[in-house]
Amino acid sequence: MLTLDRLDHIVLTVRDMPRTLDFYTKVLGMQAVTFGAGRRALAFGRQKINLHHADAPYSPHAHLPAPGTADLCFITTRPLDAAMQHVRDAGVTIELGPVERTGATGPLRSFYVRDPDDNLIEIANALDAGA
């Protein structure tokens, strides 16, 4: 049987690379990186998000890559109220929250925003040590 350890990276298809990099670095605190032959990605923790431009996705790619089709949840250690204020101060509208949700390893307290491609971004605090 195949045993998986962790998620290494995901890929987002984006319309506007500079705008996407700006949002994820300034609002969510990720690090913009360049790898390979000028490819762009966002790094955080032990993960990264590779970015494919909608007009020229790298092969291989998803069957129907399209901007705005992702729904992602990120855990922050910053208190949620402070995270929400940071997002508001950055000019980003909070779509919903705070709300209680269930994460991969336990309960979460979350809020939701949209990135420049209208992907749904959930930002959450784990409500117990296991999450």
Residues paired with residue 113 on neighbouring β-strands, in sequence order: 121
Tokens of 125: 């605090």
Interatomic CA distance for residues 37 and 47, integer angstroms: 20
What tens digit of pLDDT does each residue of 73-109 get? Answer: 999 999 999 999 999 999 999 999 999 999 999 999 9
Which one is the CATH code of 9-126: 3.40.640.10, 3.10.180.10, 3.60.110.10, 3.40.50.1360?
Answer: 3.10.180.10
DSSP state of 62: -
Distances (CA, A) of 48 to 43, 85, 95, 100, 114: 4, 25, 25, 26, 19
What tens digit of pLDDT does each residue of 5-43 get? Answer: 889 999 999 999 999 999 999 999 999 999 998 999 999
Domain limits, the chain: 9-126
Q: What is the pLDDT of residue 128?
A: 79
Tokens of 35: 């790898």
Residue type, 62: A
Catalytic residues: 122
Interatomic CA distance for residues 73 and 121, integer angstroms: 6
| Confidence band, pLDDT 50/70/90 cuts, at residue 114 | very high
Asked if the model's pLDDT at residue 130 lies above 60, the reply is no
Asked if the model's pLDDT at residue 65 lies above 80, the reply is yes
Q: What is the pLDDT of residue 9?
A: 95
Asked if the model's pLDDT at residue 48 lies above 80, the reply is yes
| Extended beta strands in the chain, E state | 9-14, 31-35, 39-44, 47-53, 71-75, 96-102, 107-114, 120-126
Q: What is the pLDDT of residue 56?
A: 82
